[in-house]
C-alpha cells in the first residue's frame, strides 16, 4: 500500500521543498507506554476520592464550614479539568456522547486514559508495520553546540497518543494549581486549628502535595517547550530531579508560610491574600490595556470573540494561580497568539522572587510575633528561620538549573551569572559616580573657601 504524506498545520512542520538547508533524517519516533497519563489519572482519582471521603466525614461531624470549602475546591478544579480535556480534544465538534457523558459525571480523565491505553495496545500489536498515513516533522537539535535540522516521520496513531499526553499535561497543571494548591492550603489550616491529623485528611494532603509538585515540574517543562518550539528538547534524569527539588522546596515553604500567617491573623489575613491574588490576576490585563493592542483572533479556529475572551480569562486565572504559589516560568502576553512572551525574562524572574521573598519574610515575622497560640510545642523562631532558609535554597537550586542544567542554555544571550554581574556592575558604577560627584563638590567648596 502506498504511503500518504500529510503536512499538519503546525509551525514546526513544513513542506520539504520550503527549506534549502541540509536536513538530517532522524529515526522514526517509537511509541512508549503512557506512564504520565496513568499517573495523572491516578492523582485525579486519588485526590477526588479522598476529598469526597473528607466531605462525608465533615458532614457526619456537623462541620459544615470545612465541608463546604473542601467540596468547593474539588468541584471547581474537576469542572476545569473536564473543560480542558474537551477543549484540547475538540469534542464539541464531534459525535461522542459517551465521552461527553463521562465528562458530565466528572470521570472524563478515566475514559480518556482508557482511550490512550487502547491506542497504545493497538500500536503495540501493529509494531513493525508501516502506517498508511504519516506526516513529516522537522525540529532543530543542538549536537556538539551546533544547530542541526532533523526530519522524521510521525505516524497518525503516534501523533494521536502524543495529543493525549499533551492534554494530560495541561490537565495536571489545572488540577494542581486550581484545585490541589487551595485544597492543600486549606487542609493544612484545618489541621493546624484542630490540632489533629485524621488518616483521611493526611491522605488528601499527600495526594494534593504530589499533584502540586508534579504540576509545577510539568509547568517548567511546558514553558521550555513553548519558548523553544523549533527545537527538539530532551530533559535528562538530573534535570528533572533538579526541577523537582526546586519546586518542592519553593511550594512547600510558600504554602506553609501562608497557612501559618492565616492561622495567626484568621479573617484579618483574607484582605492581604485576596489583594495579592488580584494583583497577579489583573497584571496581564493592565499591560494589555496599556499596550493598546487588540484581542488575538486566531487562538483557535472557528472561535468567536466571546470564545476567545473566555479562553483568555481561563488562562489568566491559571496564570494567577500558578504565580500565587510559585513562579510560572513564563510571562503571559495576551496580545500575542501564543499568549506567552518567549524571551528569557531574567528581570521578570528576579522581580517575582524578590517580591515573594519580601512577602514571605513579612508573613513569617507576623507569625513569629503574633502567633503565640498556634504551635505550642515548637519554637516559632526556629520554624521561621527554617522556612526562609528552605525558600532561599529553592532559589539557589533554580539558579543552578538555569546556569548549568538547562537543556538549551547555550542559546541564552545572557545567563544567570551575566545578569548578576550586570546588577553588581550597575551598583558599582552608581557608587563610583556618587563618589566622584562628592569629590567634585568638595573641590568646588574648597576653591570657594580659598577665594
pLDDT confidence of residue 407:
83
Q: What is the mean pLDDT of residues 227-245?
A: 86
Q: Report whether pLDDT(341) > 90.
A: no
**What mean pLDDT do residues 101-115 have?**
91
Q: What is the pLDDT of residue 89?
A: 80
pLDDT surpassing 50 at residue 331: yes
Average pLDDT over residues 156-169: 84
Give me the pLDDT at residue 109, please: 93
382's grid cell:
526556629
Strand ranges, E, within 46-131: none
Q: What is the pLDDT of residue 416?
A: 66
Q: What is the mean pLDDT of residues 182-200?
A: 91
Q: What is the pTM of this model?
A: 0.83
Residue 77: is its pLDDT beyond 70? yes
On the question of pLDDT at 314 being above 80, the answer is: yes
Whether the Cβ atoms of residue 63 and residue 190 lie closer than 8 Å to each other: no
Most confident of 276-285, 292-301, 327-336, 421-430: 276-285
What is the distance between the alpha carbons of residues 44 and 37, in angstroms, rounded to a whole number?
11
User: Which three three-digit cell numbers place residue 121?
Assistant: 495496545
Instruction: Give dist(CA 249, CA 121) in Å, integer.
Output: 38
Q: What is the mean pLDDT of residues 104-113?
A: 92
pLDDT given at position 235: 84
- 190 by DSSP, 3-state: which? helix
How far apart, in whole angstroms, are the C-alpha atoms of residue 216 and residue 172?
9
Q: Considering only CA atoms, which of 44, 365, 34, 327 is closest in space to residue 175?
A: 44
Is it the case that residue 451 has pLDDT exceeding 60? no
**C-alpha span between 292 and 412 (Å, rounded):** 30
Confidence class for position 128, pLDDT limits 50, 70, 90: low
Query: Which pLDDT value is given to residue 1?
Result: 39
- Strand order through the sheet with 24-25: 4-6, 133-143, 146-155, 24-25
**Residue-level pLDDT at 426:** 64
Question: Do residues 419 and 350 lie in contact, with contact meaning Cβ atoms separated by under 8 Å?
Answer: yes
* DSSP track, 197-263: --HHHHHHHHHHHHHHHHHHHHHHHHHHHHHTTTB-----HHHHHHHHHHHHHHHHHHHHHHHHHHH
pLDDT score at 211: 95
- 146-155 and 133-143 beta bridge pairing: antiparallel
Confirm if 154 and 10 have CB atoms less than 8 A apart. no
Share of the chain above pLDDT 70, in %: 78
Mean pLDDT, rounded, for 164-174 = 91
Average pLDDT estimate for 417-428: 63
The per-residue pLDDT for 20 is: 42
Q: What is the pLDDT of residue 180?
A: 95
Give the closest residue to 191 by CA, choosing from 75, 93, 70.
70
Which pLDDT score is estimated for 43? Answer: 95
Cα within 13 Å of Cα(321), Cβ side: 25
Mean pLDDT of the chain: 81
- Per-residue pLDDT tens over the stretch 34-64: 899 999 999 999 999 999 999 999 999 999 9
- Strand 4-6 versus strand 24-25 pairing type: unpaired
Range scoring the smallest mean pLDDT among 18-22, 361-365, 379-383, 430-434: 18-22
pLDDT digit string (tens) for 287-308? Answer: 888 887 777 765 665 566 777 7
Closest by CA to 210, choosing from 46, 329, 401, is 46
Using 50, 70 and 90 to split pLDDT, how confident is the model at 411?
A: confident
Q: Is the pLDDT of residue 277 over 70?
A: yes
DSSP state string for 333-360 = -TTSTTSEE-S--HHHHHHHHHHHHHHH
Residue 241 has pLDDT above 60, yes or no: yes
Terminal-to-terminal C-alpha distance of the chain:
103
The predicted pLDDT at position 419 comes to 61
Amino acid at each position: 500500500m502506498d504511503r500518504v504524506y500529510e503536512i499538519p498545520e503546525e509551525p514546526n512542520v513544513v513542506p520539504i521543498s520550503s527549506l534549502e538547508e541540509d536536513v538530517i533524517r532522524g529515526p522514526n519516533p517509537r511509541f512508549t507506554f503512557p506512564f504520565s497519563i496513568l499517573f495523572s489519572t491516578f492523582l485525579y482519582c486519588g485526590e477526588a476520592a479522598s476529598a469526597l471521603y473528607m466531605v462525608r466525614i465533615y458532614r457526619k461531624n456537623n462541620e459544615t464550614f470545612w465541608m463546604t470549602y473542601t467540596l468547593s475546591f474539588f468541584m471547581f478544579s474537576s469542572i476545569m479539568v473536564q473543560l480542558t480535556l474537551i477543549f484540547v480534544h475538540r469534542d464539541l465538534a464531534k459525535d461522542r456522547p459517551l465521552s461527553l457523558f463521562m465528562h458530565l459525571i466528572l470521570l472524563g480523565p478515566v475514559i480518556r486514559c482508557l482511550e490512550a491505553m487502547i491506542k497504545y495496545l493497538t500500536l503495540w500489536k501493529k509494531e513493525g508495520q508501516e502506517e498508511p498515513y504519516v506526516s513529516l516533522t522537522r525540529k532543530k537539535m543542538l549536537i556538539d553546540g551546533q544547530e542541526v535540522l532533523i526530519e522524521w516521520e510521525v505516524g497518525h496513531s503516534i501523533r494521536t497518543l502524543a495529543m493525549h499526553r499533551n492534554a494530560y499535561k495541561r490537565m495536571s497543571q489545572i488540577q494542581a494549581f486550581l484545585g490541589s494548591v487551595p485544597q492543600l492550603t486549606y487542609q493544612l489550616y484545618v489541621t493546624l486549628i484542630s490540632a489533629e491529623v485524621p488518616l483521611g485528611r493526611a491522605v488528601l494532603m499527600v495526594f494534593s502535595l504530589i499533584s502540586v509538585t508534579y504540576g509545577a515540574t510539568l509547568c517548567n517543562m511546558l514553558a521550555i517547550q513553548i519558548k523553544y518550539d523549533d527545537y527538539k528538547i530532551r530533559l535528562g534524569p538530573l534535570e528533572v530531579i533538579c526541577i523537582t527539588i526546586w519546586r518542592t522546596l519553593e511550594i512547600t515553604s510558600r504554602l506553609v508560610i501562608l497557612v501559618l500567617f492565616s492561622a495567626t491573623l484568621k479573617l484579618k489575613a483574607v484582605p492581604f491574600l485576596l489583594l495579592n491574588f488580584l494583583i497577579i490576576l489583573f497584571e496581564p490585563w493592565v499591560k494589555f490595556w496599556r499596550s493598546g493592542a487588540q484581542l488575538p483572533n486566531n487562538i483557535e479556529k472557528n472561535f468567536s470573540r466571546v470564545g476567545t475572551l473566555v479562553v483568555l480569562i481561563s488562562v489568566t486565572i491559571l496564570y494567577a494561580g500558578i504565580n500565587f504559589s510559585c513562579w510560572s516560568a513564563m510571562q503571559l502576553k495576551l496580545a500575542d497568539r501564543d499568549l506567552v512572551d518567549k524571551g528569557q525574562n531574567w528581570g521578570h524572574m528576579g522581580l517575582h522572587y524578590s517580591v515573594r521573598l519580601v512577602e514571605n519574610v513579612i508573613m513569617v515575622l507576623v507569625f513569629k510575633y503574633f502567633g503565640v497560640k498556634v504551635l505550642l510545642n515548637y519554637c516559632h523562631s526556629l520554624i521561621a528561620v527554617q522556612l526562609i532558609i528552605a525558600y532561599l535554597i529553592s532559589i539557589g537550586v533554580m539558579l543552578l538549573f538555569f546556569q548549568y542544567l538547562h537543556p538549551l542554555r547555550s542559546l541564552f544571550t545572557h545567563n544567570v551569572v551575566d545578569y548578576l554581574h550586570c546588577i553588581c556592575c550597575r551598583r558599582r558604577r552608581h557608587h563610583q559616580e556618587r563618589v566622584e560627584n562628592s569629590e567634585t563638590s568638595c573641590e568646588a567648596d574648597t576653591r570657594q573657601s580659598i577665594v
